[in-house]
Every structure is written in structure tokens, then in C-alpha cells.
Amino acid sequence: MNPTAAPHSLSPGALQGLKVVEMGQLIAGPFAGKTLGDFGADVIKIETPGSGDPLRNWRLKQDGTSVWWQVQSRNKRSVALDLRSTEGQDIARQLVAQADVLIENFKPGTLEKWGMSYEALSALNPRLIMLRISGYGQTGPYRDQAGFGVIGEAMGGLRHLTGNPGEIPVRCGVSIGDTLTALHGVIGVLTALYHRQNNGGKGQMIDVALYESVFNVTESLIPEYSAFGVVREPAGASLPGIAPSNAYRCSDGLVLIGGNGDSIFKRLMDTIGRTDLAADPSLSDNSGRVARIEEIDKAIEDWTRGLQVKQVLALLAAAQVPSGRVYTARDIAEDPHYQARGMLLTQQTRDGHQITVPGIVPKLSDTPGSIRSSAPGLGEDTDSVLAELGLNPNQIQMLRDKKVIA
């Protein structure tokens, strides 16, 4: 593995000057904050004194800190602040008063209980854009129920489609519901920033629900049910209604083949030696191929089973048929294309370790993102951020003595 050194200050970043306050913890809200931070925003993350974001302790750790945390919280400053205290809430309001964006993913009603509803904060800062992430949204009969990404994936219709027919649905292996929600939230923030710029400087509230973010990517799931009464079911590795697109066994592993374009299908059939199928007029379009998908899949796998994965990929690449193999973490780490695209970056942790982290997406030509700072220690920036608010050292120490900050 030859990761690229993480880009530091190659450009000021498209979002330089944008001030973001991040409240909440774990995945969805912080992933949104990370994405904005990668492109230059100044992200101040508020954490609970003593414990901090639980993600600091999730999965594999290095010197007591999760390596996942190093990715999720790069380009952020950490303020350890007790939001349950009156003094902590007052400091939070001061931070929000100077912010462009507030990200929060508490259970609906939590900020209202602390006197920090959107209406109250907007009155304090009319330019504020407030991103609110929750399981079910800020309204509706389920708003008060606890919701995690896994529940959003299930309610959004995705979990029912994963796995093989007749088996227990499986998760995709990462917190896809949270990440989809974060990305929808970032879209909302950028849209609201554009509106604010062109409409008198007024901010607005963005309500993003986990289940809705998942539901938004379920393609024809509901239209097919509405028009035909069809409930889409899990289909394993295949893509129902689009043929051929599946995983096929080789002599030493699996290969994924997408031969569902009309001209691509003909090239695929010619490559596997089935010119009869390539010339069959009934297979010239997708609907005809769907009707005979078992026959087509068998023909393809009869061919792939006699070859190694690398042989299949080479032949299909020459024929310009989309294909690929299933990547593990090791495959990703050793892949030259990942390296050439800057998708494997080295980042130094606060403890001095060099770790490889995912690169920055998307890639902007003039103002690319960068890793300006590694993930902070808990409360590492508390004093400097409070000083920026105008608090003097005595005031800061008084708050620390009262355990409002850490």
C-alpha cells in the first residue's frame, strides 16, 4: 500500500469562512460535519465533558481511541461543554449566534427543552441554517420514537431487499442509513446557503429523517407497487428486471458482470462464445432478456466457471463489458486506481500514528478539499474557542471549576 500524503492547505477550500457548530454524536450528524469540514468549513464539535462522542470508543482502537474517530472528526475543533447546564446552554447560544450552520441529531424536542428551538435560535441569528437529523423527522406520529440508522434502513424499504430470497435480510456491512442521511443533510445545507445568499440573508431549518433518506434511493420500489401491486423482493446478487446483471462463479472466486445494455449484451455473448444468443432478436432489448434471464445467467456462468477471475476480467475489459471483482479492505489498499485518484491518504493522529484514511469526495478542480487537521482530543479546543467568544482566562477557569466545560 502506497497511500498519498493527506493534502494540507492546498487551497483554502470552497467553504472557507463558513462557521459550523456540530451538536450530537455518532454517525449521521458528525458525518455531515466532516463533509463540510473537508471543504474548508470551521467545524466546532460540542462534546459531553468526560465521555465525549461514543464514536471515540467504537470498534478497533489505537492508544485508546477509535481509528474510525480519526476519519469522522478530522478538520474539527472539540469543545467539551455540558449542554444540560444553564451555563453550557448559554455558551452554546453564543456559538450559534456567530455560526452559519448548526448541525444537531438529538431526539426531537431535546433542543426545545434546552431553550434552543429553531425559532429561538433564528431570532438570535436570523442567518442561521439549522440542520436537524433524526430517525423519523421533526413532525409526524413517530417523531418521538428513538431511531438509529439500522431502523431507518428497515423502514425506508432497503433492508427488505438485501440478502437472498427466503432468508433473513442482512445489513450491507456499514452504516449506510446514517451516511445517506448525512449526505442528504449536506445537500440541504448547501441549498440553504445558496438561497440565503440570493434572498436577503435569511437562514432556514432543514429537517432530515433517517428513513426518508433511505427511502429516497429506493428507485422504482413504490411506483411499481402503485402501478402494478408488485412488492419487490430480495434477489441476492442479481438486479431484478434488468438483465443480465449478476455475480458469477469463476474457478477461483466471483466476478460481477453488468451486461444489461443492448449493445453490451451482444459483445458479452460474443465474448463467451454464444453468438447465437447475441444474434437472437428476442434478446435485443431488456424486456426480452428478463424473460429468459435464467438461460442467460447459466450461459454466462458456464463460461466463467472455466476461467480465473483475472482472465474473465481481462477478456471483458477488452470487449468493453462492465465487470469487476469483489474488493476486500486489502484489495482496496493495494489497488493502483485508488492510489492514483488520491483515495488513500495518510493522516497523522494526535498520538503520532500514521494511518491510512479514505480520501475526499467529490473532487473539485479549483477548490479541492483537504485534511487541515487531525481529529482532536476531547475538549482540546475548549479554551481557544471560548476565548474567541470573548471570555477571559478567569471566566474560563470558573466554568471549568463548575464542570460546565472540560
pLDDT of residue 289: 97
pLDDT of residue 240: 86
Give the orientation angle of helix 176-198 with respect to helix 28-38, to 10 degrees.
50
pTM over 0.85: yes
Eight-state DSSP code of residue 139: S
Say which of 42, 178, 207, 297 is annotated catalytic: 178
Phi then psi for residue 255, to 5 deg, are -130, 140
CA quadruple 204, 117, 396, 56: dihedral positive or negative? negative
DSSP 8-state symbol, 82: -
The pLDDT value given to residue 254 = 97
How confident is the model at residue 273, as a pLDDT? 98
Instruction: Identify the structural domains of the chain with CATH numbers, from first to last.
Output: 4-217+333-401 (3.40.50.10540), 245-249+254-324 (3.30.1540.10)
Averaged pLDDT, groups of 10, the chain, 406 residues long: 61 92 95 98 97 94 94 97 97 98 96 97 98 97 91 94 90 93 98 97 98 96 96 88 95 96 97 98 96 97 98 98 96 95 94 94 94 95 97 97 96
Is 178 catalytic? The answer is yes
What pLDDT score was predicted for residue 10?
56
Residue 149: predicted pLDDT: 87
Cα gap 284→67, rounded to integer Å = 50
The helix (H) or strand (E) run that includes residue 258 is strand 254-258
